[in-house]
Amino acid sequence: MNKDSKRHLRSENIYQVFLRQHPKDGTFKSLISDLPRIKSLGMNYIYLMPIHPIGKVNRKGLIGSPYSVSDYMEINPEYGTMEDFKKFMKKAQELNLKVMLDMVFHHTSHDAVLYQKHPDWYYKENGLPTRKVYDCQDIIDLDFRNEDLHEYLIDVLLFWTGLGVAGFRFGSASLIPISFWKKAKEKVLAKHPNVLFLGESSHLKFIKEKRDEGYLVLSDGELYEVFDILYDYDVYTEYNNYLKDYSKLNIWLTAINNQESLYPKDYVKLRFLENHDINRVASYIDDENRLLNLTAMLGYLKGAMMIFAGQEYKVKKRPSLFEIDRIKFLEEEKEIYDLIHKMSHIRKDELFQTGVFRVHLQDKEVAVFSYENEMSIAYGIFNLGSVQGEIDLNLKDGIYQNILYPNQVKISEGKLQLADKPMILFAMKRLI
């Protein structure tokens, strides 16, 4: 992993906000009033989907996608003004919430300011600007063979970091040359040493398909030369298959385990159950205990945790990218909220940053993981299928405290009786 990355990022908690769809009126002013709640959930970063003006040419829907950006250095007027953004930044900083902006450097809208000034900076076929992903008619791709484009986009990053932005989430990061990412990271860190680079890496199937078509697509291994955190889309297919067929749990867990060998030792993955591009996890799962166990497992997995606004209240509907479709927070749904709050604090223990992570496959629908260092060991037991019975656990016989819920559990003859609720057991190694 690049020299600027730190393993403490595995304990970071990121809250994703689609400002247009956020409750109340979807503006910076209304989001400011929600920041204390987000902080109380245990979040460290608030990640805003693109806040820039949206193109009008070939727009999708009445309002358009935030990923069809027309000006990288302006604020979408539907969200407020630049002064409103600065007030939002000030309040976030007062609460010790770091702000991460979504930057879409792979493409712009057809009528972007950049296209009007520098049409030669765009990817073309038959002399016309176009795109490589053909179902996205509202965008045209940039051409990174132009060094002047590199310098302009780096200036964009320096503009926002100058306003206090602490990190960036880069969409379609794998479609942009690594030479640009290296240059951008170096120049940004020279002025702002702690800025976080989070990359939206690609599904394995997509990488293969686009490479076969002759396009540049970077693997996660290549992106880790620059990025601090990458999406875990490399195991998304296995996760999605599990949601549709619970018998496939161990296939997903095996894919997670394989990441330990595929990537640099200090790799950090972004762990999530949902985001703006995929369906809400609660839309798949009606069983309360399964959802509780899956949520606790999310917080326990090795990597940074991301919560998509509304997930903490079991919201089932994924908001539209193209219309007004405000999220309704069901605040009476407190159990998932409280569990995320607990996990966000448990994850801060150094064991989750530096301990040896292991996946312990079972012959039933139970996910078991452990972290271990010289001093201590922790087991996470997530009974996703509400199965009855016992599992083997490599802990000394005795009584242990489940730190997620106020109950004690017994290990007898190396076996643990399963419960419906998730369990996390800590032990000092000198005592076992």
Rg (alpha carbons) of the chain, rounded to whole number? 22
Considering the domain boundaries, does residue 2 fall inside one?
Answer: no
Same domain, 114 and 134: yes
Asked if the model's pLDDT at residue 134 lies above 70, the reply is: no
Same domain, 411 and 321: no
Q: What is the pLDDT of residue 331?
A: 83
> Could you tell me the pTM of the whole model?
0.96
Least confident of 52-56, 102-106, 125-129, 279-283: 125-129
Asked if the model's pLDDT at residue 5 lies above 60, the reply is: no
In whole numbers, what is the pLDDT of the chain averaged over residues? 95
Tell me the average pLDDT across 381-387. Answer: 97
Q: What is the pLDDT of residue 431?
A: 61
Q: What is the pLDDT of residue 429?
A: 74
Same domain, 326 and 390: no
Same domain, 196 and 157: yes
Same domain, 106 and 221: yes
347/384 Cα distance (integer angstroms)? 20
Provide the percentage of residues in the chain whose pLDDT is more than 70. 98
Same domain, 293 and 398: no
Considering the domain boundaries, does residue 1 fall inside one?
Answer: no
Same domain, 197 and 162: yes
**How many folded domains does the chain comprise?**
2
Q: Which of 339, 354, 369 is the last residue of a domain?
A: 354
Provide the percentage of residues in the chain whose pLDDT is more than 90. 93
Same domain, 403 and 262: no
- Phi–psi pair at 87, nearest 5 degrees: -65, -40
**Around Cβ 119, how many Cβ atoms within 10 Å?**
11
User: What confidence tens digit (pLDDT) does each residue in 85-108 have?
Assistant: 999 999 999 999 999 999 999 999
Q: What is the pLDDT of residue 133?
A: 76
Same domain, 213 and 322: yes
90/73 Cα distance (integer angstroms)? 19
Asked if the model's pLDDT at residue 343 lies above 50, the reply is: yes
Structure tokens at 165: 């932005």
Same domain, 302 and 403: no
Q: What is the pLDDT of residue 384?
A: 98
User: What confidence tens digit (pLDDT) does each residue in 290-315 have?
Assistant: 999 999 999 999 999 999 999 999 99
Considering the domain boundaries, does residue 98 fall inside one?
Answer: yes
Same domain, 311 and 372: no
Asked if the model's pLDDT at residue 135 lies above 80, the reply is: no
Confidence of residue 41 (pLDDT cuts 50, 70, 90): very high
Q: What is the pLDDT of residue 1?
A: 45
State the residue for tokens 């969409």: 171
Q: For residue 392, what are the domain limits?
A: 360-431
CATH of the domain at 298: 3.20.20.80
Tell me the average pLDDT across 373-388. Answer: 96
HSE of 260 in the Cβ direction (CA atoms, 13 Å)?
Answer: 12
Q: What is the pLDDT of residue 432?
A: 58
Same domain, 246 and 156: yes
Asked if the model's pLDDT at residue 4 lies above 90, the reply is: no
Q: What is the pLDDT of residue 379?
A: 97
Tell me the average pLDDT across 17-21. Answer: 98
User: What confidence tens digit (pLDDT) does each residue in 393-431 have?
Assistant: 989 999 999 999 878 999 999 999 999 999 999 988 766
